[in-house]
Amino acid sequence: MEKKNIVFIAKSLDGYIAGKNGELDWLESIPNPDNIEMGFTNLMQEIDAIVMGKTTFEVVCHFGGHWPYTKHVIVLSNSLKEVPEQLKQRVTIMKGSPQEIISALHKRGYFKLYIDGGRTVQEFLKADLIDELRITTIPILLGGGFPLFGDLDLRLEFEHIESKVFLNQLVQNWYRRKRK
């Protein structure tokens, strides 16, 4: 069974995933009147489960509307004790190191994982557990905020797979981890 950890995320031109005060409005600064699909639906079909941090989980819950994920969601948190009643079948809380989380999920039959959320992505990259980056760049400089990438102990080389431009403005780049 192929094992793969994928990041699929949007960032500003200067590398932020949220503004100085958590602003996300700029993610929709390029109008998408026809609701053009930018890879999320395919990703949902491709993966077995989603791993995210508590902050991202809370942001998604706060969006309201329908639950956006068709696969099981694992929320990483030391403090969260339970999830809202209506999400109990769809969401599991876990804690542990990235390696422990991955091992536990593989044992449960979840092999292809979508890793989401700033801190979670940074921790998984630090443990060199990300196999694919699919990053959409919004053409705006925020000038500050929560960065997608964090400090690493070692450089990580990737291989460029593909670039796509959506709505004539959003550049999505796919990269695969180059392992020797």
The secondary structure of residue 180, as a DSSP letter, is: -
Residues 129-168 that bind a second copy (CB under 8 A): 133, 137, 139-144, 148-160, 163, 165, 168
What is the rounded CA–CA span in Å between residue 112 and residue 104?
13
The correct pick among 6, 7, 9, 26 for binding a second copy (CB under 8 A) is 26
User: To the nearest whole angstrom, how small is the minimum distance from the Cβ of residue 155 to a second copy?
Assistant: 6
Q: Is 87 in a helix, a strand, or coil?
A: helix
Q: What is the x/- site pattern for a second copy, positions 69-88, by CB under 8 A?
A: --------------------
Task: Return the structure tokens found at 165.
Answer: 């431009």
Task: Return the structure tokens found at 43.
Answer: 């990703």
User: To the nearest whole angstrom, how small is the minimum distance from the Cβ of residue 36 to a second copy?
Assistant: 15
Q: Around Cβ 56, how many Cβ atoms within 10 Å?
A: 23
What is the rounded CA–CA span in Å between residue 160 and residue 158?
7
User: To the nearest whole angstrom, how small is the minimum distance from the Cβ of residue 10 to a second copy?
Assistant: 14
What is the rounded CA–CA span in Å between residue 74 and residue 77?
9
By CB under 8 A, tell whether 10 contacts a second copy. Answer: no
**Chain positions contacting a second copy, by CB under 8 A:** 13-15, 26, 29, 125, 133, 137, 139-144, 148-160, 163, 165, 168-171, 173, 175, 178
